[in-house]
Structure 1
C-alpha cells in the first residue's frame, strides 16, 4: 500500500492536545531546511531540549521530534529563518490550536516586546506564515495571491473557506449533508463530510454499513450508525484517549530490484501509516504501539525519511551531483520580485492613508459635525445603538453629515464615514477631533513606509545571495571547462547531438527542472493560448467581465459568450493590450477552441451538462447601452446584430504543466493544452468538488515527474484549481 505522507485533520486533532503540554517552553533558534522544513529549537524547564518540526513540502507534518532524530543545522540561514530568530528568540510557546477541521495549526509565541503567530498550512502546496499581533503577515515561505485568499507580507492573513467538521455535526445536520449527495456512502463521507478516504472507510466499517451503498438507498438507521461511529471518534480525540499505532508492511520479493542479490526476507518491514488509535481498516497489518501519538508520528516520519534515503540511487557521474544553479538563481529572482511587490504594496498603502488624512481636511466641516454629534450624544449617555438609529434617521431626511456615516461601532468607539467622489471609507475615533484623526492616519502612513525600508533592506540581502549563487556557478563552469581541456572530449556530432537534445526535453525524467516564472499581464483572468498561438482571456466575475470589454477588447478581437446564463465574457485576442493589430482571419480550429473555453467555464459545467452552445460577435456589436426602459446588470452587455453560433460544444478542459519556455500550470481546451504541456490530464463535469478535483489532478501530474518538488512549486493544487470550472469534475484520462 502507499505510504502516508501527510497528516490528516483527525491526526492533527489528536496531536494538538499533546503539543500543548509544551506550553511555556522558550524558543532558542529557528532553522529552515530545503525551503519546506522548519525546525524550532526550544528549552523546556521540565523536559529540557524540545525540537518542534513543521514540514510543508511533499511531506506534511508537525510534531516534536526526538533530538536524536534531528539532522544537523543547515548552513547560512535564509531570510525567513533570520526573521523568525529576530522575532521569536526568547519567546514563550503559548499554545497551539487546529483551525476548525482543516489541516491548519496555529502556534502562538509570546515575548514582552512582541507576540508572533505561526500558521502552518499542512494541505495543498503547504505554507508557513508568521503573523504579528494584528494578524498581519510578517513573512511566509510561499506568497499566495488567489481569488479566494491572499497570504503576502503586509496583508492581513486570510484563512481558507471554512469546512464542515464531521466530528461536531448534529445527527440532523449529518443526515441533511448525506442526503444532498448523489454518490455512495463512502465517497460522500470522504468528500462532502471532509473525512478523506481512509477514515471514511473506517467509519463505514465501524458502523457495519456497506461502503458502496448509494445514498438514496441508505436507511435512517444506517445514517444514525454512521453518525454514532463519528461521535465515538470525536469523543476519543477530545478526551485524549489515544492508543497510537505505526503500521508496517512486510516487503516481498516483488518490492526489490529483482537482482540476484535481492534478499527481501532479510530486510526490515517498511512503515505505511501512523494513526492515533487502531483502525479496523488496517487489521491485517503488523503495528507498533507508542505511549503518545507525538512519539508515534516522530518515529513514523523518521523511518519514512531513512527508508526513502536508503532506496535512492547514488549519482553515477559528476554531472548527477552538479548543483542546480539555474533553479537557485530563479528562486532568488522570484524572491526579489515578491519583495518588490511588497514594496509597491507598502507604497500604495501609505499613499492611501495620506489620501484619507487629506480627505478629512477637505471635508473638515462635515467630519467635524459627525464627530461633534456623536461626542455630544455620548456625553449625555446616549447608547451607541440609539446614536446609530439617530444617524440613520438623519440620512433618510437628507442631512449630509448623517448620509456620510456608514457604520457605528460602539465596541470599538469608532464611526466610519464615506468621503470624496470615490466614497473612500475612513474609520474615525469618535472620541477625538478631526486633527487627531488625521494625524493618526499620517502616522500610520509613516509606519507603513518604515516597513517599506525594511523590505528594501531585505531585497539588498537577497541580491547579495543571488550574486553569490552566480559566482559559484561561474566557478563551477570554469572548473568544468578546465577538466574538459585536460581530459579531452570523445563526443561527436550528428546522432549524438540529437540524442542529447532528446534527453534535455524529456521533462518527466529529469531529476531537476529549473524554474522560469512568467510575469504576464493576463494571468489574473482565466486564459489560455490556442493551438495556433492566439491568446484567449475570460472573466472570473462581473468586475472582470466589465474590465475585459472596457479596457482590453480591441477592434479586431472576437467576443464569445454562451447561450446559457452565467458564462464568462471571453475574448479571442488579435494582439496584446499595447500592440497594434491588423484584421485576423482566425482558423475554424481557433474559433472552436475559444467557444469551448466559453462553454466549459459557464453554468453548463456547473449544472453537469456535457455540452453547450456558444456564439461569437464582432467588438462593435457589444454595447453597455440597454434598450429604453431596460436595465443591464454589472458584467452583462447588449449584443446587437447577427451572431455566429457554435452548437453542442463539449464541456472539457485539460490542465497540465508547461516546462518551456516558462514553467507554470496551464489549462483550457484539451486540443490547445495537450501539445503545449509536458503532461496533462483532461476533465469533464462530474462528482468531485473543485478543490478535490484539483488535488486529484495535482497528485496525478506530480506522480509523472521524477522531480516532484518542481510540480509542487509551479503547479500546486491551488494553482491547478485556478484553471478548473466551478462545480464538480471527473478526470477522464
Structure 2
C-alpha cells in the first residue's frame, strides 16, 4: 500500500480548528527548504516555540511540528524566504481558515505597519503565495497563469473555482448531484461530491450501502443513508469530536513472531482525524490531537523515504516495473476520459437550466418577485416556505413549481418542464436553484457562466489527458529500450573491453529509472561564475556582472586561452580555458565544435537573449589582444575592455541553452550550449528566448526534470529551481519542444 503524501480536504477541516489555538504567536523567522517546504518559526506565550511547516511539493502538508522533528536551518535564504522575513518578522499570527472545501489554507498575519496573508495551495503542483492587505500577490513560490486564474506578483490573487462542499449540502442538493452521474455510487461520491476515493468508500461503509450500486438503481433510501453518514462525519469535525490515528503497514510473519517488534519501527501508510472502517485491517497508533498525529506521520514518512533511499543499491540497476507504470498511466487516462465526459454532461445540464429559466420567464419572475417582496417586508424564510406550500395546494402555478426553499443560502429551487417532443430528453422536468435576491436574467447568466466554467475545466482535462498520453508513450519507449538492452546482454560494465575511458560509458546506467541516486557534491572553483564544459572537455567560464568580467581577465585569463565576446553590447566576458588556474598550459589547437560552443555560450548569455533575438554574432581574440588601456581621451567602463588587432567572427550563432542534471561522476545541475550539455546530463531541457520570466522558466524546467526521475527527491536536492535559475540567461525564455 502506497503511503499517503497529501492531506485531504477533510484532514484540513480537522486541522484548522487546532491550528487556530496558536493565534497570537509572534513570527521570528521564515525558512525555505528545497523550494517547496516553508518553515515559520514562532513564539507563543502558552506553547513556547512553535514550528509551522507548510510543504507543497510531492508531499503536501500544513501543521505545527515538534521542534525535535525540524531539520537544521538551510543556508543562504532564497528571495522568497527573504521577502517573508521582511514582511512577517514580529507579526502576530491572526488565524487560519480553509477556503470552502478546497485543499487551500489561508494564514493571516498582522503587524502595525502591514498585514500579510499566506495562501497555501495543497493541491496539484502546490504553491504558497504571500498577499498584501489588498489581496495583491507580493510573491509566490510558483507563478500561475491559466485561463481561469492568475497567481503572479502584482496581480490580485484568484482562488480556484468553487467546489461543492459535501459536508454542507442539503439532502435535495445531494440527490441532484448524485443523479447527474452515470457511474456507480462510490465513484460519484469521489468525483461529483469531491470526497476522493478513500472517504467515498468510508461513507459507503458507514451508510451500509454497496459501493458499486449504479446510480440509476440508487433510490431515496440509499441517498438518505449516504447523506446521513456524511452529516455524521461533518458533525464530528464541527464539534471537534476526533480520535486521530496514524496507520502503519501490517505486521509481517517475522514481526508477528517477534515479541519486541514496536509499532514505531513500521512504515506508515495513512493519518486520519478519526478511525476509518476502510483502515480496520491496519495497525494504528492513537494521538491526543490531530496536529500531533499529522506531525508524527510526516516525520516518519520522511524517515521511511530516507531509509529506502539509503538502502544498498544492486551492482546493476534492477528492472523498473514498467507494467505497473503503464497500467497506472492507463488508469489515469481512463479517469481523465470519465472526467471529460462528466464535464460535458455538467456543462450541458447548466446550459439547459439557463435556457429553461428564459423559457419559463414569467413563472420564474413571479417566484423570485414574490420571495423578494416578502423578504423586503421582513417575512421569515419559514413563513415564505409555508405560504408557497399553501399556494401550491390552491393550484397556483408559480407556487407549484417551488420544490425547496433554503433560507441559509438565500435560494429557491424550482422545477421547470422541458419542452416536449425533442430527442431522448423530451418531456420531464429539470430542477433549477435560483438566487432569490437576483432577477431572471442574472440567474440565467450565472448558469451560463457556470456552463462556461465547466467547459474550461473540460479543456484543462483534455490538455491533461494529452500530457498523460505522452508520459505513457515515454514509459513504453523506456520499456522497449530496456528489453533491447536485455537482448544485447545488458548494460556494459566499466572497462568491459579493457579500454574504456569512462567518458563514453558515463550514461549507460539508466539514471532516470533508478529508485535511489547517491549524491556526490562537487566543490569546483569556477562554480560562482557562469560555466560549462565543452563536448571535448574544455572549461568555459563567463562573468555574471562587471566585477566578475574584470576578475576573469585579470586573474583567470591564461596565455593560451581564448577570449570571446558578442557584437551586441551587454555580453559576458567568456574565456575558453586551455588549463586550470594553477596549471601550466601548452598551446591548444581547439576544434571548430569547441570554438562554436564557446561562441554560443557568449551569445546566449548576452543582451541578444534578453532582447528576444534568436541568434547573434560573437568574436574571438587571443589574450594579448585584450587590454584595459583606452585610447587617448577615451574612457572604459568597469567590466569593459579594449580589443586590438584582428578578430575571428562567428555569425548567426543560435541563442539556445540546455539545462539538465548530471549524475556521473558528480551530481549537480549543469547548463550551457545544448550540444555540450546533452552529452553530459542524464536528462536536460532546451530553451530559447521567449515569454516566461527567468524564475518561471526555472520552475518549469525543474518540474519537467523532476517528473523524469524515479528518485524525485534527488532532483530537489541537486537541481532545485533556484539552482537551475543560475544557468538561465537573463530575460524571458521558452522551452523548446
TM-score range for the pair, normalised by the shorter chain length: 0.3 to 0.5
Which structure has the larger Rg? 2
The normalised TM-score by structure 2 is 0.45
The normalised TM-score by structure 1 is 0.46
